[in-house]
Amino acid sequence: MRGNSASLPITLISWIAVIAVFLVLPFVVGPYLLEVMIMLLINIVVVASFRLITMTGGWSLAHIPLVGVGAYSAALLSKHFGVSFWLNLPLGGLTAAFVAAAICYPLLRMKGFAFFIGSFAAGEAIRLCWIRFRNPFGGPRGLIDIAGAGSLRVAGLFSLNLDSGIPFYFLTVLVTLICLYLMHRLGDSRIGVTLEAIHIHDNLAKSLGIPVTKYRALAFIAGGFFAGVAGAMLAHRLRTIDPHQFGFTTTLYLLLWAIVGGTTTFAGPLLGIVALTAIGELIRRFSEWVPLIYGVILIVVVLFFPQGLESLPARIPFLLKKYGIAQKGKPRK
């Protein structure tokens, strides 16, 4: 009990430190890195929502297209109906959740590799609709001239332009924190425990009377909702979207973030995306080497940290002892 009570303040302090860094950084970095951080925050919501699906043991290849559903719905509602940014966030999430509900029930009849391939086919079907139908989706060129976040009147004193870099950044921080809080609460609730039980042994869970299919559908739809919110944020920030943004390459990056970070804990995928985004910026000048470097990183993580970077604190002492670098605190003779 003492160890658990000690770990809680440490975890809380860690989260406070991370939030403090994100609050200070926009004032010390340039416009380019500010945009990188905005995209990082949006992608954090994407990868955290993806973990809701992996909690049941399924790895969906339709998740990035669901981000696109949120983006396209926000773009269309904004362009043709003048819906504001604030309404487009929940509406983008609800649209993606509706599409997730429509495709999940046939998909959830599959397991393992079949689910993996079936979700890829469903995601590609969604993406090909955007390419095929120029009206209303714009075809291969997508949609342009999407409205931004607009302005916000503060206490009736002055108007804050949310489309400028720093205000939109803090808006993204706020949305990201709300989404992460809700997903964390869901994962720590009885629903989250049930999802993990289904992952460990779905047949045993079914024998105990747990409606496995309904819980898997709930995880898929909830993940789709938060993915749609991230897509709406993306559309209003970039102000232009096209089907290629939500293709298989982006899905591969999502899988890489999750595998490198790990999906056992809530913080795992977040560690993965932050680490790989930082590495990607460091090697940006060597763009032709990026796939090779990411491939090496993936191999190293799978070999030495099969549970991802989240297992790093517990894994390092074991590796040091295994390879004779450290034995009981004394150097090897």
Please list the residues that pair with 161 across neighbouring strands.
Answer: 151
Question: For residue range 125-156, what is the model confidence (pLDDT) as tens digits?
Answer: 999 999 999 999 999 999 999 988 887 766 56
Report the Cα–Cα distance between both ends of the chain, in Å, rounded. Answer: 39
pLDDT at 1: 37
pLDDT of residue 308: 85
Last residue of a domain, one of 229, 246, 263: 246
User: Among residues 218, 246, 274, which one ends one of the domains?
Assistant: 246
Please report whether residue 11 resides in a domain. no
Cα dihedral sign, 291-266-194-204: positive
Whether 254 maps to a domain, the answer reads: yes
Domain with 332 in it: 247-333
What was the pLDDT predicted at 305? 81
Model pLDDT for residues 261-310, shown as the tens digit of each residue? 988 889 889 999 999 999 989 888 887 888 888 889 889 888 888 888 88
pLDDT at 259: 92
Residue type at 227 in one-letter notation:
A
Regions of the chain where pLDDT drops below 70: 1-12, 153-158, 315-333
Question: What's the token pair of residue 277?
Answer: 């985004």
53 plus 118 within the same structural domain: yes
Same domain, 309 and 330: yes
Whether 203 and 63 share a structural domain:
yes
C-alpha triplet 223, 228, 234: angle, nearest 5°: 130
List of E strands, 122-257: 151-154, 158-161
Are 194 and 332 within one domain? no
Q: Is the domain of 200 the same as that of 121?
A: yes
Q: Is 253 helix (H, G, I), strand (E, B) or coil?
A: helix
Residue 160: inside a domain: yes
The reply to whether 125 and 226 lie within a common domain is yes
What is the pLDDT at residue 225? 97
- The residue out of 199, 218, 246 marking a domain boundary is 246
Q: Which two tokens stand for residue 136?
A: 């209303």
Residue 169 identity: Y
The two structure tokens encoding residue 145: 């001239």
Q: Please, is 213 exposed, middle or buried when counting C-beta atoms within 10 Å of its C-beta (0-12, 13-18, 19+)?
A: middle
Question: Phi-psi bin for 182: left (phi > 0), alpha (psi -120 to 50), beta?
Answer: alpha
Is 243:130 a contact under the CB 8 Å cutoff? yes
pLDDT of residue 18: 76
Please tell me the total count of domains within the chain: 2
pLDDT score for 182? 95
